[in-house]
Structure 1
Amino acid sequence: MSRQKMLARALIVFALLGACGTGARLAAAGEFVAEARTIAELKAVFGQVESRTVVPARARIGGTIREIGISEGREVKEGEVIARVVDDKLTFELNAADAKIAALQSQLDNARTEFDRAQQLLARGIASQSRLDQAKTQFDVIVSQVAAAQADKAVIEQRTREGAILAPATGRVLTVPVTLGSVVLAGEEIARIASGQYYLRLSLPERHATEIKEGGTVLIGQRGLSPVASGGSAAARQARIAKVYPEIADGRVIADVEVADIGDYFVNERTLVWIPVGERKVIAIPPAAVTTRHGVDYVRVATPDGPLDVAVVLGETFQDGGGPRLEILTGLRPGDRIVMPDVAP
């Protein structure tokens, strides 16, 4: 016999001895009976982070932006001054209002003097009652004119104060579409503020409309668009469907999902969401029962002739009351006794 044949035979003998030794250890460990169970059929879709309300901060007067005190991402409080618009014409209107009030005040002083003189002359019997009535009427007219001029000035001052743009609600600034020196009109949008609670909005195919219901449970992945980045459905957390909208648009059903600790910064961020769209029966075993050799997955099954390594095809990993379970697509049947590896040192 050649040297190469002897070496090959020796390697085969050592491999068989190693397999027998391993089988003895596995047989001594506990067993797990493979059973068929019903699990939810999950569909992975993208959920988009939305704010319950997004309110615009608008300019109340037209003019030029002279001050901007915010930027995208900053938190603001309701009533906080976030920008300022200045209309140079208001300064001239205010000066004109002051001049008009000053002129009317002079006329008022003169009318008061004439009214007092008419009263004195009437008391002495020199002037008539009609002259006194005329002086009083002139005095009352000018008093009203002064009050109207002061009201006009108050309107101008109020318009000047309205150049301060206030945050309409407490929240986070999403966009600031203007710059210093921009000319804006009254009612133009200066900033958009996300002021409501954040939630996930789902857009599902119409065929799943009957499977989703308000109050149903879905699984939310971690931040990231890929199953690897989000941790997959096994690492997902549960959330509740808060609302299902009755209108179907473009073959899509819209639903909102309430998620705890979703954050309050990014809006329109997308993340993976797994929703139940049906049920299916699977054979599932603990992940520890699977061993991998040369890229092939094996499960050791107890048979009347002794433990037998069976090649299997693995499916998804999910959680149940007994811990993580691994779906077996092919290779096992319900009732097979799985020999669990000995995890003792």
Structure 2
Amino acid sequence: MTGRLIFGLLLALAPVFASAEDDWTARKLELTDWKAVFGRIEARDQIPARSRLGGTLVDVQVVEGSRVAAGQLIAQVVDEKLALQLSAVDAALQSLNSQLKNAMAELARGENLLERGATTVQRLDALRTEVDVINGRIGATEAERNVLEQREAEGAVLAPNEGTVLSVPVTAGSVVLPGEVIAEIGGGGFFLRLAVPERHATRLKEGDAIRIEGPDGEQEGKLAKIYPQIENGRVIADVEVAGLVTDFVDARVLVRLPVATSKAIVVPSKAVSTRMGLDFVTIARADGTPVSRTVVLGATHEVAGETVIEVLSGLTGDEKLVAGHE
């Protein structure tokens, strides 16, 4: 009588089982172990826009966050000495042109005198040489002026590439030196840059799927590049993500990397029931009799579009499971 009572209690605690079409099997699988690291949103190309001329920064046309096109004027540097040098060169050219005019008049007069036999050929040659010398000096002075004009034009600071202005470390009125950074331009698209502990370096492969915890839920990316140089015990890698939110550059994003695989026993999440703080699965014995078994559960995984739960203890694998409800 006591045995029947215990059997009746066990049946009362066991779920009511569904049809055979809802039966499952505990499976042995190799699961991917994911390591959580933080990645930073970075621009693929970060190129400084530098001043080619030393002088005073008189105008800055961009601020942080501005969108610029390649070759766009973003700032203007002026060197007051160049204007003075150009004025001096212009005065020299004016003087040389006057000298040339006078020398050519002397040459014409000499040719006229030579026709009348009133001068010598040597004197005429000297006049021609004087004209050639002045023309040469004019050409050299004009070349000097072109150099000064080019230096003055180099005061225009141009965007080296298309992208977003990440930083502007100077302000209008600052005195800048040649080569000084006026703005930092980020372009070429955005990606996630990771620093992964070097012990995982051999397990990473370009093209691996990467999980990203975004503001709208989990996204999937692709491991695009692994850099060969290890810095401070970490491997640098880049991850491409479609639709990556780039409102804030250098923002940190949680990323999960596949670093290893492990063998595990998994069951469908629907096959697990919880009663009195314990987790149960119902297995079918060899004669088809269902029996509840207490299990210790691990992490939840997605396998081929199905949600499964890792079983740490309580099953050995290949058990026939029976679906049911309380």
Q: TM-score, normalised by structure 2?
A: 0.85
1:218 equivalent in structure 2: 209
User: Structure 1 counterpart of 2:117, which letter?
Assistant: G
Deviations 1:231-279 (A, max 9, x none): 4xxx44141353341x333322333333333355543332222222222
Q: In the alignment, does 2:162 pair up with 1:170? A: yes
1:72 equivalent in structure 2: 64
Partners of 2:223 and 2:237 within 8 A in 1: no
Partners of 2:212 and 2:221 within 8 A in 1: no
Q: TM-score, normalised by structure 1?
A: 0.81
The one of 53, 78, 91 equivalent to 1:86 is 78
User: Structure 1 counterpart of 2:220, which letter?
Assistant: R
- When structure 1 is superposed on structure 2, of 302-311 and 81-90 the one drifting more is 302-311
1:317 equivalent in structure 2: 300
User: Structure 2 counterpart of 1:160, which letter?
Assistant: E
Deviations 1:143-178 (A, max 9, x none): 111222222222222111111101111222211111
2:104 equivalent in structure 1: 112
SS in 2 for 1:221: strand
User: Structure 1 counterpart of 2:259, which letter?
Assistant: V
SS in 1 for 2:112: helix
Deviations 1:4-28 (A, max 9, x none): xxxxxxxxxxxx99x9598335467
Aligned length: 316
How is 1:293-308 mapped onto 2 (pairs within 5 angstroms)?
Answer: 296-302=278-284, 307-308=290-291
1:275 equivalent in structure 2: 257
Deviations 1:167-215 (A, max 9, x none): 1112222111111111101111111112334333332223223322344
- When structure 1 is superposed on structure 2, of 152-161 and 180-189 the one drifting more is 152-161
Query: For residues 276 and 151 of structure 2, what CA distance do their matches in structure 1 show?
Result: 79
Query: For residues 294 and 179 of structure 1, what CA distance do their matches in structure 2 show?
Result: 68
Partners of 1:240 and 1:257 within 8 A in 2: yes
The one of 288, 304, 310 equivalent to 1:327 is 310
Specify whether residues 263 and 52 from structure 1 end up closer, same or farther in structure 2 by C-alpha distance, changes over 3 A only: same
- Backbone CA RMSD of aligned residues: 2.8
Partners of 2:30 and 2:264 within 8 A in 1: yes
1:124 equivalent in structure 2: 116
Which structure 2 residue ranges, 5 or more long, are not aligned? Answer: 1-7
Deviations 1:96-128 (A, max 9, x none): 221111111111111111111111111111121
Query: For residues 275 and 14 of structure 2, what CA distance do their matches in structure 1 show?
Result: 14
Specify whether residues 54 and 322 from structure 1 end up closer, same or farther in structure 2 by C-alpha distance, changes over 3 A only: closer
Query: For residues 82 and 249 of structure 2, what CA distance do their matches in structure 1 show?
Result: 39
More strand per residue: 1 or 2?
2
User: Structure 1 counterpart of 2:241, which letter?
Assistant: V
- Runs of 4+ residues over 6 Å off in structure 1: none
**Structure 1 vs Structure 2: percent identity of aligned residues?**
43
1:243 equivalent in structure 2: 226
Shift of 1:313: 3.5
SS in 1 for 2:249: coil
Query: For residues 311 and 67 of structure 1, what CA distance do their matches in structure 2 show?
Result: 74
Which structure 1 residue ranges, 5 or more long, are not aligned? Answer: 1-15, 224-228
Query: For residues 91 and 242 of structure 1, what CA distance do their matches in structure 2 show?
Result: 50
The one of 134, 138, 143 equivalent to 2:135 is 143
Partners of 1:218 and 1:241 within 8 A in 2: no
Partners of 2:56 and 2:173 within 8 A in 1: yes
Partners of 1:64 and 1:181 within 8 A in 2: yes
Partners of 1:240 and 1:259 within 8 A in 2: no
Partners of 2:74 and 2:158 within 8 A in 1: yes
Partners of 1:285 and 1:326 within 8 A in 2: yes
1:200 equivalent in structure 2: 192
User: Structure 2 counterpart of 1:221, which letter?
Assistant: I
Partners of 1:173 and 1:191 within 8 A in 2: yes
- When structure 1 is superposed on structure 2, of 153-162 and 310-319 the one drifting more is 310-319
SS in 1 for 2:16: helix
Shift of 1:61: 0.6
2:87 equivalent in structure 1: 95
SS in 2 for 1:105: helix
2:38 equivalent in structure 1: 46
Partners of 1:27 and 1:307 within 8 A in 2: no
Partners of 1:300 and 1:339 within 8 A in 2: yes
